[in-house]
Structure 1
Amino acid sequence: MHRTYPKALYVVRLNVENTSIISSHLTWGFPAPSAFTGFMHHLQRQLNQIAEYATVECCGVGIISHQFNPQITKTNQFRYSPYQLNLARHPLKADGSTPAMIEEGKGHFEVSLVIGLAGDELDEYLSANDEDLSTQTQSLLNQLNLLVYNMRLAGGSVFPHKHVKPKLINWSEHDAVNKTKALRRSVLPGFALLHRHDVLTAHQKWLAQYPTYLETQKNSPDLLDTLLDIQRFNFFSTPKEVIVDQEQLEGVWTVRPRPEHLKGWLVPIPIGYGALTDLQPQGVIKGLRHDDYPATFVETLISLGEWQSPHRIENIVDILWNYNTEPKNGVYELVQPFASQLDIDTSLTDEETHQSFEFETEEEEF
C-alpha cells in the first residue's frame, strides 16, 4: 500500500457544533473516521488551488477527542435503549401543516486534528525551528487556518479554540519520538482514536479455543460474533454447587472475566465501505450526485477501535488515518498506514481452560 511519510504536521484544536452523531446503520456517537478523512481531502483540494501549494499532499489525519456532548435525553420509554435523540422541530409549511420529521442525531465536540503534510516543494515553506517560524511558514499556517475555519466537519460548524493556537511542525522520521513527547503535552487531556483490528482477530482466535463459548454456540466464531462478544457482558454458569434456601443448585451464573488482550477503551467504529455489486461504468447508475466517475452500491464496514491517551503513544503519526489507495475485492477501507502491528498473546490461562472459580460464601455470591 502506498504511504507518504509527512514532512510537516498541522495541529489544530477545534470546537464543532451540531455535528452528525449517527456514524453508521449500527453505531451512533462520535463521528466516523471517514468524516475526518473527508475533511482532510477537502482541505487538500482547496490548498492545491493556490499556485504555491499546488503539490502539497495531506497524507493522514489524527483524531484526538477532548470532549463530546451528544444531544440526547435519558428516558425509560424504550426497551432496548435508555437514550432518545433530541430532534429539532422544523417550521410549518405555507399551508400550516407540519413537515415530515427526519430523525438526525446531533452533538457538539472538541477535537484536535493532526494533519500530515507532504510534497516535494514543501521544504521551502518550513522552518527548522518550530517555535520561531519563518515568513513562508507563517504564511502557510495562516492559509491553513483560513481554509479550516471556513469548512464544516461531519456536518457541524467549526469554531477555533479560544486558548490553544494551531501549530505547524517540521517533521522527520529520525526525531519523531522526541517531537512526539513535546507535542502530546499540548493535546492532553484527550483520547486518540486507534484502529485495533489486530485485537479483533486476536479475540476471535481466543474465542475459538474457549471451552464455554464452543459449548454454548456450537460453532467457531466469525468476526461479527467476535465484535458482539467484545461489546457485551458475557455470563456463564460455573459447575460449583451452592445451597440457597435449603435448595441445592448446580451452578452459579457469573460474568466472564475479560482476557488480558481486551484491556482498554474498545469501541465499534465504521472504517469504510464494502461493495455490494461490481464497479459500474460511468453513467450506468442513474440519479447519482455526480455522474463523472464509476460507481457501485456499498454498505458500511464495522471494525474495532480504541480510545487511547496520547501519553501512551510513542510516535504521533501512528494515529493518522487515510484511505487505502489499493482497494481489493470491493473493500474501500480506512487505514492507519504508519501504525505498527503488535503481537498479541491469545493463549488461555489455566483458570480460563478449567473454569475454576473460588467464592467466599456460596449463598452471598449467588
Structure 2
Amino acid sequence: MHQTYPKALYVVRLNVENASIISSHLTWGFPAPSAFTGFMHHLQRQLNQIAEYASIECCGVGIISHQFNPQITKTNSFRYSPYQLNLARHPLKADGSTPAMIEEGKGHFEVSLVIGLAGDGLNPHLSANDEDLSTQTQSLLDRLNHLVYNMRLAGGSVFPHKRVKAKLINWSEHDAVDKTKILRRSVLPGFALQHRHELLIAHQNWLAQYPTYLATQKNSPDLLDTLLDIHRFNFVSTAQEASVDQESVDGVWTLRPRPEHLKGWLVPIPIGYAALTDLQPQGVIKGLRHDDYPATFVETLISLGEWQSPHRIKNIVDTLWNYNTEPTNGLYELVQPFAPKLDIDTSLPDEDTHQSFEFESEIEEEEF
C-alpha cells in the first residue's frame, strides 16, 4: 500500500459544537476517525476546485483531542449505563401529534487537526522558513482557513480557536523529529488518537495461554472476546486458577491485573466498514442517495485505539489517518500508513501473570 509522504502540514485548532457522538452501533463518545478523514476529503475537493491548487492532495489527518463534553445526563435508574443522552424534542406535527424520538447523541469538543498536504503543485506555495511566510504561503494558509471554518465536522458547527492560530509548516523526513519537538508544544495539553491493532492481536495470543480467563467454550478467544476483555474489569478466583475444569465459584475472587502490554489509555474505535455482499454494479441497489457508483451493504469495523500524549510521539506524521487505497476482502478500513509497527512483548512470568490486587479497607481522604 503506497501513501504519499506529506510535504507540508496544516495544523489548526477547532472548537466544534453539537457534533454527533454516536460513532458506531456499539460505541459512543468521541467521533470516529472516519468523521475526520471525511472532513479532510471534503477539504481537498473544495481546494482542488481552485485552479491554483488543483494538484494539491491531502494525505492524512492527525487527531489531537484537548477537551470533550458529551451532552448527557447521569441517572440513578439505568439498565446498561449510568448515563443517558440528552435528546432534542422536535416541534409538534400539523395535526398536534408528537413526532417520533430519534436518538442523536450530541457533544462539544476541542480538537487540533494535523492535515498532511502533498502534490507537485504545492512546492511554489511553501516557505523555507515556517516563521517568515511568503506571500504565496500566506495566501494558501488563508484559503485553507476560509474553507475549514465554513465546513462542518462530525455534523457539528466549527469555530476557530480564540488564541491558537492555524499554521502551515514545510515538512520533510530528515527534520521531522526536530520539527515535531517544536510543534507538539502548541498541541499540549492533549491526546493523539493512535491505532493499536497489533496490540489487539498480541492480547488475543496472550489470552489463548490462559483459557480459564474467559467464560467461553471456544478453543481460543476471537477478536471480539479480546476487545471486551480489554475494556472491562476482570475478576479471577483461586479455584478457577487451580483447575481448568473447576465449575465451583468457591474461592477468593480478586481483580485480575492488567498485563504490561495493556498499559495506556486504550479505547474501542470504529475504523471503517466490512462488506457483507459482493460489490454490486452501478444502479443494481435501489434507493441509494447516489446511483453514480458501485455499492454494497456493509457493517462497522471495530478495533483498538490509544489516546497518547504528543510528548511521547517522535514524529507527528505517525498520527495521520487515511483511507486504505487498496482494500482487500471487502475491508474498507482506515489506517495510519506512516506509523511504525509495535514490538509487543507478551511473555510474562507466571508469578507476575497471576498476581492479584489487594484493596485497602481504609481510604484516606485527600484535600484538593
Pick the TM interval, shorter chain: over 0.9
Distance 1:239 1:57 in 2: 59
Partner of 1:246: none
SS at match of 1:62: strand
Which residue identity is paired with 1:124? P
Which residue identity is paired with 1:18? N
Distance 2:324 2:359 in 1: 53
Whether the aligned pair in 2 keeps the contact of 1:319 and 1:339 (CA below 8 Å) is yes
Which residue identity is paired with 2:188? L
> Residue by residue, what CA displacement relative to the aligned partner does 1:42-77 show, whole Å, maximum 9, x if unpaired?
000000000010000000000000000000000022
Partner of 1:244: none
Distance 2:195 2:356 in 1: 34
- The alignment status of 1:70 with 2:70, answered yes or no, reads yes
Whether the aligned pair in 2 keeps the contact of 1:15 and 1:111 (CA below 8 Å) is yes
Whether the aligned pair in 2 keeps the contact of 1:238 and 1:357 (CA below 8 Å) is no
Partner of 1:243: none
Q: Map of 1:25-44 to 2, 5 A cutoff?
A: 25-44=25-44
Whether the aligned pair in 1 keeps the contact of 2:192 and 2:310 (CA below 8 Å) is yes
- The alignment status of 1:273 with 2:273, answered yes or no, reads yes
Query: What TM-score results when the alignment is normalised by the length of structure 1?
Result: 0.93
Distance 1:57 1:216 in 2: 48
SS at match of 1:116: strand
Gaps in structure 1 of 5+ consecutive residues: 241-248
Deviation at 1:217, TM superposition (A): 4.7
Deviation at 1:93, TM superposition (A): 1.8
Mark the CA change 1:257 to 1:129 in structure 2 (over 3 Å): closer, same or farther.
Answer: same
Count of aligned positions? 354
Mark the CA change 1:255 to 1:119 in structure 2 (over 3 Å): closer, same or farther.
Answer: same
Whether the aligned pair in 2 keeps the contact of 1:71 and 1:86 (CA below 8 Å) is yes
Percentage identity across aligned positions? Answer: 87
Distance 2:356 2:115 in 1: 49
Mark the CA change 1:209 to 1:166 in structure 2 (over 3 Å): closer, same or farther.
Answer: same
Deviation at 1:350, TM superposition (A): 2.3
Which residue identity is paired with 1:267? V
SS at match of 1:307: strand
Gaps in structure 2 of 5+ consecutive residues: 241-248, 363-368
Partner of 1:326: 326
SS at match of 2:61: strand
Deviation at 1:22, TM superposition (A): 0.2
Distance 1:44 1:320 in 2: 15
Q: Map of 1:190-201 to 2, 5 A cutoff?
A: 190-201=190-201
Which residue identity is paired with 1:78? F
Which residue identity is paired with 2:179? K
> Residue by residue, what CA displacement relative to the aligned partner does 1:105-162 show, whole Å, maximum 9, x if unpaired?
0000000000000001211100000000000000000000000000000000000000
Whether the aligned pair in 2 keeps the contact of 1:272 and 1:300 (CA below 8 Å) is yes
> Residue by residue, what CA displacement relative to the aligned partner does 1:249-294 show, whole Å, maximum 9, x if unpaired?
9621001100000000000000000000000000000010110000
SS at match of 2:65: strand
Instruction: List 4+ stretches of structure 1 deviating above 3 A.
Output: 214-218, 355-361
SS at match of 1:287: coil
Partner of 2:365: none
- The alignment status of 1:47 with 2:47, answered yes or no, reads yes
Deviation at 1:94, TM superposition (A): 2.0
Partner of 1:223: 223
Partner of 2:316: 316
Partner of 2:207: 207
